[in-house]
Structure 1
């Protein structure tokens, strides 16, 4: 079917045209560097990227249509609409051509100025940003009790986005961007204001660490974010991100837990009329170009039952690509597109592809030619004023918090060192709680998914029945037959153990490089999970019960003499 679609859509001819255009622009790059800006060159790359991605979308939509319209008993129903899973040689070759085009069109990044002044300025901005990051999240953590006031304020008619923590989140996001030297231009804010308090799932393109902060700092609606689990394990920052701002971690290494996180967030939309921000790409783009859309965000939208607000972020990748330690200052554009009303007559996948087409069209539209360039003078002043404020306010604020904490501890007779030990104890407890809730032990999940308790109980019942019938079996069976029955029961229990070990190893090996799972031991005897420890003990008990029966010795005088003779003969040999 795939080859037929490729031929009908004339994919080879269309791809050759795009490939020729790409080669032409790559050859003209040296000349373009002197006659165009970084933003203009990258926008040309995005336009070519959109051109070949339209071909890719045409193929996906045609294949999805064939699968969805096929009769129920057709072999097409068993096909995957994911082209990357195709075994058709023509499709595999075509995907390699798409991948080569993406690699060639990787966006150009803003070069670093390695002058002594710029390096010193970069170091100063990194330190200042760290002070704001940890100082701000520390204050946000202390403001967690303010969330309790939201219950009363909602009853008094205060709307979302004007609640205390919502305002704190907006100010903090704006301050982070300004401290980083980012000047944000927005387009289409009226598309968000026109929601008039309705919830939305805001889906944004993701090429930089700035994306979420820029959306939160410019959107008229306060958003709840989904972030990768490792972000929530950063001490203090992760606590505030989760418990103060109400954002939610997602475990990308475990599909079932990821679905539960999405459903939990969907309930926040329904119960509290909240709006959610999530990237349909799933993770940052390594090329700066729009990636394929994951299916998870569309399950979230379906569960929440609200429409989608597409957001395109341009210029951030050039300033802070994944390989760069910290951002360069510069201009960025956040473009809020009109609401995408999900078509109820289309499948979830069809809506996903239709929305991706809208994104590609938007990324190819003209952008300001000065994106990623130096910020304007007024914004530079805002940046400098904020840096000065950070150094004037946060060290004093943190020092005051520490002083008050020590004074409070002194009321209970604790010395400064005692207060420090208490602080470290509280710190360890909070981080352990965060780890527990964000990284529930994989072993327990595996035991539940494999139904280990029920399977082990069935084996244990068989063993108890076998042991209870031992006296009868001794008279009616041979030693070899009884031991073979033990081996069969042992094998049955060991299959369960192997299933656990294989599932655990699979989860560890497929986890992201920064996932806590990568530090786990695949040896279940080293597990600290109480449920797993109990399971291992049950396996040990089964082994003891199934210890093989040995042939009894004959204690007659003849047999004892024969044994002695054999021992001596064996020693001589």
Structure 2
């Protein structure tokens, strides 16, 4: 039953994207498209999975100014766990190969999200610089998985620097979204997915920081997130 629930949840993603695609075409690169789509996919996905998602610290997510959100990344199912937590006008970061996924790739691109080719580091750095400018000039927020890959429930991995540089260069606060470790286990005969708890930590201000402060900023955020994840 759990396998069937998971299959149906993921089949809902391209279907939702297919119905959303006309709206993206009508207002392309509008970042609020991402928030509405993320909300829909997360709520539908959790309903199909039978997953509960206790949330602590929702008031710590600013909605009146641009922020850089960093979150730990465990499985692809993080889409259902956290997709409805995006603040207004949020773009996110993904691999350039995503554009080839039917329907999802097209709405991802039309959402104005940052598509990185990690094989070309100079292009990746240029993309993050452009993102910093967008935070300042276009009042956009940025959602980043700083580990750069899925941890598969094996604890918090090392952080990559890009999102922190973007935050410092834009003077935007960093908001940490911490989801407790999970392993896609099911509960009982119905195959409902185990609950996944979320804690949103208070914003960390970056105004006045320089690129020289980035290593210490990364270390501090990593420690705070590791402590929060361990306590969930």
Shorter-chain TM range is: 0.7 to 0.9
Contact 1:170–1:222 (CA under 8 A) maintained in structure 2 = no
Match of 2:76 among 196, 209, 213: 209
Secondary structure of 1:137's partner?
helix
1:271, distance to aligned residue in structure 2 (A): 2.2
Contact 2:34–2:90 (CA under 8 A) maintained in structure 1 = no
- Residue number in structure 1 paired with 2:171: 305
- Residue number in structure 1 paired with 2:3: 122
Q: How does 1:456-467 map to 2 (within 5 A)?
A: none
Aligned residues: 225
1:362, distance to aligned residue in structure 2 (A): 1.7
RMSD of aligned alpha carbons:
2.7
- State yes or no: 1:281 paired with 2:161: no
Post-superposition Cα deviations, 1:182-220, rounded to whole Å, max 9, x if no partner, equal: 22111100111xx35111100001111122443231345
Q: Distance in 1 between matches of 2:81 and 2:89?
A: 12
- Residue number in structure 2 paired with 1:225: 92
Secondary structure of 1:310's partner?
strand
- Seen in structure 2, the aligned counterparts of structure 1 residues 142 and 166 have a Cα distance that, compared at 3 Å, is same
- Seen in structure 2, the aligned counterparts of structure 1 residues 356 and 130 have a Cα distance that, compared at 3 Å, is closer
1:255, distance to aligned residue in structure 2 (A): 0.8
Contact 1:181–1:329 (CA under 8 A) maintained in structure 2 = yes
Q: How does 1:230-269 map to 2 (within 5 A)?
A: 230-243=97-110, 245-269=111-135
Match of 1:182 among 38, 42, 51: 51
Match of 1:319 among 173, 184, 187: 184
- Residue number in structure 2 paired with 1:172: 41
Post-superposition Cα deviations, 1:236-276, rounded to whole Å, max 9, x if no partner, equal: 22011111x32221112221111122122223212221111
Contact 1:187–1:336 (CA under 8 A) maintained in structure 2 = yes
Tell me which protein shows more helix as a share of its residues. 1
Q: Distance in 2 between matches of 1:349 and 1:199?
A: 22
- Seen in structure 2, the aligned counterparts of structure 1 residues 176 and 263 have a Cα distance that, compared at 3 Å, is farther
Contact 2:13–2:41 (CA under 8 A) maintained in structure 1 = no
Q: Distance in 1 between matches of 2:89 and 2:63?
A: 13
Q: Distance in 1 between matches of 2:10 and 2:226?
A: 35
- Residue number in structure 2 paired with 1:134: 14
- Residue number in structure 2 paired with 1:293: 159
- Seen in structure 2, the aligned counterparts of structure 1 residues 148 and 291 have a Cα distance that, compared at 3 Å, is closer
Q: How does 1:423-502 map to 2 (within 5 A)?
A: none
Higher RCO (CA < 8 A, seq sep 6+):
2
Q: How does 1:476-555 map to 2 (within 5 A)?
A: none
- Seen in structure 2, the aligned counterparts of structure 1 residues 168 and 133 have a Cα distance that, compared at 3 Å, is closer
Contact 2:39–2:84 (CA under 8 A) maintained in structure 1 = yes
- Seen in structure 2, the aligned counterparts of structure 1 residues 272 and 216 have a Cα distance that, compared at 3 Å, is farther
Match of 1:330 among 194, 198, 215: 194
The TM-score with structure 2 as length reference comes to: 0.84
1:303, distance to aligned residue in structure 2 (A): 2.8
Q: Distance in 2 between matches of 1:207 and 1:174?
A: 19
Q: Distance in 1 between matches of 2:178 and 2:128?
A: 22
- Seen in structure 2, the aligned counterparts of structure 1 residues 129 and 215 have a Cα distance that, compared at 3 Å, is closer
1:347, distance to aligned residue in structure 2 (A): 1.9
Q: Distance in 1 between matches of 2:33 and 2:97?
A: 27
Tell me which protein shows more strand as a share of its residues. 2
- Seen in structure 2, the aligned counterparts of structure 1 residues 254 and 358 have a Cα distance that, compared at 3 Å, is same
- Residue number in structure 2 paired with 1:31: none
Secondary structure of 1:216's partner?
helix
- Seen in structure 2, the aligned counterparts of structure 1 residues 214 and 223 have a Cα distance that, compared at 3 Å, is farther
Q: Distance in 2 between matches of 1:286 and 1:166?
A: 25
- Residue number in structure 1 paired with 2:66: 199
Q: Name which one, 1 or 2, has greater alpha-carbon Rg.
A: 1
Structure 2: state its 5+ residue gaps. 186-190
Q: How does 1:375-414 map to 2 (within 5 A)?
A: none
Q: Distance in 1 between matches of 2:63 and 2:27?
A: 23
1:146, distance to aligned residue in structure 2 (A): 3.5
Q: Distance in 1 between matches of 2:164 and 2:11?
A: 37
Q: Distance in 1 between matches of 2:80 and 2:166?
A: 21
Contact 1:216–1:222 (CA under 8 A) maintained in structure 2 = no
